[in-house]
Amino acid sequence: MPLHHQSVSCPSLSLTLPSLHIAVVQGALAIVYKLIQLLVLGHKDVDIYNNLRQTPLHLAVITKQANMVEALLKAGADPAALDRNGQTALHLCCEYDQRDCLSVVLSMPSSATCLEIRNFDGLSPLHLAVLQGRKDLARMLLDAGADINAMDIKSGQSPLMHAVESNNADMVHFLIEVMNLCGCDVNSQSYSGNTALHSACGRGQVETVRLLLKSGADSSLKNYHNDTPVMVAKNKKVRSPSPSHSRGCSPSTTPHIVHQNASHSPETSILRSQTYCPVRLASMSTQSSIKEAIRRHHAAEGFTQWDGGAGMDCT
Alpha carbon distance 251, 278 (integer Å): 9
Beta bridge partners of 280: 237
- Residue 273 lies inside a defined structural domain of this protein: yes
Please tell me the pTM assigned to this model.
Answer: 0.75
Structural domain count of the chain: 1
Q: What CATH number is attached to the domain comprising 267?
A: 1.25.40
Q: Is residue 137 part of a domain?
A: no
Q: What DSSP letter does each residue of 253-289 carry, written as one string?
A: SPPP---TTSTTSHHHHHHHHPPPPP-B---HHHHHH
Is residue 230 a contact partner of residue 201, using CB atoms and an 8 Å limit? yes
Q: Whole domain around residue 307: which residue ranges?
A: 185-315
Angle between helices 66-74 and 29-41 (to 10 degrees): 10
Is residue 13 in a domain?
Answer: no
Of the candidates 128, 221, 223, 210, the one whose C-alpha atom is nearest the C-alpha of residue 176 is 210
Q: Would you write out the chain's pLDDT as a tens digit for each of its 315 residues?
A: 444 444 444 444 444 457 899 999 999 999 999 999 999 898 888 999 999 999 999 999 999 999 999 999 999 999 999 999 999 999 999 999 999 999 999 999 999 999 999 999 999 999 999 999 999 999 999 999 999 999 999 999 999 999 999 999 999 999 999 988 887 789 999 999 999 999 999 999 999 999 999 999 999 999 999 999 989 988 744 344 443 333 334 344 334 434 344 444 433 332 233 333 333 444 555 666 666 667 666 655 443 333 444 333 333
Please check whether residue 136 lies inside any domain of the structure. no
Please report whether residue 217 resides in a domain: yes
- Give burial (CB, 10 Å; 0-12/13-18/19+) of 141: buried
CA-based nearest residue to 56, from 30, 81, 93, 90 = 81
Residue 295 lies in a domain: yes
